[in-house]
Copies of this chain bind each other. A is one copy, B any other.
């Protein structure tokens, strides 16, 4: 018990011997293969396998078959509800297809993202899904693209989430449109002096939401001066500090839009701490509709994204085109995901 006796797991060979059949028959019996197998034999093999507690060694199977059942998912931060909801969708859809999901965390760091992709390629995953990629425009962009292209060249499929990454498939979130609609809705509620807390400029998703929001405001004749745009990092703390910065600047503002909910929560917290009641003095809006924002006070106005579906779609987008090569049109085929503006207590009519 102290020294791990560690007999190795039963192998197919063991099963075959136990059942008194050949290796080939055992293999065929166990994975509903093309070739027929005498039902009586099949029975015996299955029983033998059960008796021995045998489970196919997926690695060996992968190397023999030359293809795996693995999906690699890269996220910036798994503890962020945005990503964990997406992950839930991916895992769910994957397990429906008998695929297994490997998750890696990039910590919003482009270098690390690249390294992670490289490392994950060693797993020869069928699919690689990138959510919250930070590489756009960074020094690593070309390398990342190269790595992914070569991954696809060798039979893999890649899917981006939210970011349109040109030759690669993407579950496109209409960030621009969603943010635009939000802006229009807020304008019609009477907001006029707006500030935005956005993400790092390398993150396309942040930029798109910012642009869309600005466009919506412009349509309503509301300006968005550059000094009202604050760059933060998608974290609650970033939203918090961004707000403090904003308040310190003395700008007179009646609305703060944070490009994701996590930061918006930080905004609310900072406002409150500064003695401003969010929603009364200053309205607050976010983006994503993570669960938390319904529960804080005031509940946050935001743009709802069906995050689990997004994850599911990403997987299907990737494996789907593996299944029926030919059906899907362009690989970047924009999968339209519906977003919805949700007005809550944090932005009452002014």
- The interface of chain A, by Cβ under 8 A from chain B, is 2-9, 53, 55-60, 62-63, 66, 68, 77-79, 81, 84-85, 87-88, 91-92, 95, 100-105, 118-124, 147, 150, 152-155, 236, 265, 268-269, 291-292, 295-297, 308, 325-326
Contacts and interface: CB of A to CB of B under 8 A. Distances in A.
A154 B325 CA distance: 40
A169 B174 CA distance: 47
B78 A79 contact: no
Given A91-B104, A265-B295, A291-B292, 4 more contacts: A53-B150, A78-B88, A100-B104, A236-B295
A103 B73 CA distance: 10
A103 B122 contact: no
A8 B154 contact: yes
A297 B101 CA distance: 37
A342 B124 CA distance: 46
A136 B95 CA distance: 24
A118 B6 contact: no
Contact of A100 (B55, B91, B123, B153): B123
A103 to B, nearest CB: 5
Contacts of A147: 53
Report copies per complex.
2
Contact of A63 (B57, B269, B308): B57
A2, A79, A308, A326: residue with the most chain B Cβ atoms closer than 10 Å = A79
Contacts of A123: 58-59, 100
Contacts of A265: 295
Contacts of A292: 291-292, 295-296
B59 A68 contact: yes
